[in-house]
C-alpha cells in the first residue's frame, strides 16, 4: 500500500547539504555578509543538531540579509545559491524516490524549516506539487526580516502538513514523510508512512524500535 500524499524534508534528506548554513557561506563569497557570520552559522547548526536551537536568535541572524530587500532582487541570489551549493549535492536516490511517487500520481510536497525563499529553487527543481516552508513577512514589497508564525520546525511541521492533508480529504495517517533529524520525529510519529533518511543518532534508535524503514542515500 502506498501513502496518498508524501512529504519530504530537504536538508540531508533530499541532498547532502544544509541550505541555511551554505546560504551564509554563499553570501560571504559574494561579499554580502561578514566572514564572522560563518562561525555564527556553525554555532546555530550545532544547536540544531543538539536540539537546543535558540529559534528567535537564529531567525534574526539567518534573515539579516533579507531585510528591506525585494523578493525579486533576492531571487537571483537564491537561484545562484542553489546552483552552487544545492543541485550538485542532491541524492540520486532521493530524485528517483520522488519521481517514483510522481509517476504514480501521488502528490509530493517538500516540507522544510528553511525559508520559502531559499528552499524555493530546490522545490522547483524536483517539481514538487507544493512547498511548505517558513514563510517570510513582506510589507510594501520588501522583506522585513520576520517570519509568519509558526516556524516550520519540530512540532511546527505538523501545523503545515495537517491542513495540506485535510484540504485533500486525507488524514496524516494516510501520509508519508521522509526526514533525517531528531526535529523530524514529531511528524514522523504522526504520519502512517514514516521513513528515516540518513538518520541522526536518536532518530536511528527510534526507527529501529518502531520498525520504521531507513534509507541511506549518498551523492
57-42-14 Cα angle (round to 5):
100
State the catalytic residue, choosing from 9, 20, 180, 182: 9
Strand partners, 147: 136
All three cell numbers of 108, joined, read 509530493
- The DSSP-derived string for 33-82 is S-THHHHHHHHHHHHHHTT---HHHHHHHHTGGGTT--HHHHHHHHHHHI
Residue 11 falls in the annotated catalytic set: yes
All three cell numbers of 58, joined, read 537564529
CA–CA separation, 170 vs 103, rounded Å? 20
Cβ-based neighbour number of residue 210 at 10 Å: 11
What Å distances lie between residue 210 and 143, 155, 199, 200, 204, CA to CA?
Answer: 42, 19, 14, 15, 10
Q: Which residues are known to be catalytic?
A: 9, 11
Amino acid at each position: 500500500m502506498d501513502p496518498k500524499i508524501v512529504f519530504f524534508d530537504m536538508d540531508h534528506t533530499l541532498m547532502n547539504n544544509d541550505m541555511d548554513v551554505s546560504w551564509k557561506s554563499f553570501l560571504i563569497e559574494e561579499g554580502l555578509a561578514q566572514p564572522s557570520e560563518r562561525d555564527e552559522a556553525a554555532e546555530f547548526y550545532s544547536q540544531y543538531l543538539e536540539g537546543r536551537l535558540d529559534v528567535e536568535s537564529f531567525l534574526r541572524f539567518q534573515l539579516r540579509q533579507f531585510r528591506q530587500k525585494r523578493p525579486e532582487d533576492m531571487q537571483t541570489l537564491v537561484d545562484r545559491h542553489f546552483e552552487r551549493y544545492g543541485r550538485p549535492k542532491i541524492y540520486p536516490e532521493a530524485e528517483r524516490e520522488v519521481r517514483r511517487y510522481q509517476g504514480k500520481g501521488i502528490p509530493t510536497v517538500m516540507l522544510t524549516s528553511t525559508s520559502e525563499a531559499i528552499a524555493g529553487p530546490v522545490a522547483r527543481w524536483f517539481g514538487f506539487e507544493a512547498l511548505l516552508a517558513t514563510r517570510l513577512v513582506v510589507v510594501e514589497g520588501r522583506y522585513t526580516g520576520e517570519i509568519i508564525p509558526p516556524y516550520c520546525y519540530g512540532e511546527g511541521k505538523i501545523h503545515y502538513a495537517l491542513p495540506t492533508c485535510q484540504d485533500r480529504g486525507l488524514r496524516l495517517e494516510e501520509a508519508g514523510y521522509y526526514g533525517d533529524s531528531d526535529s523530524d520525529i514529531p511528524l514522523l510519529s504522526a504520519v502512517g508512512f514514516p521513513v528515516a533518511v540518513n538518520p541522526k543518532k536518536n532518530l536511528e534508535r527510534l526507527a529501529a524500535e518502531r520498525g520504521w524503514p531507513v534509507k541511506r542515500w549518498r551523492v
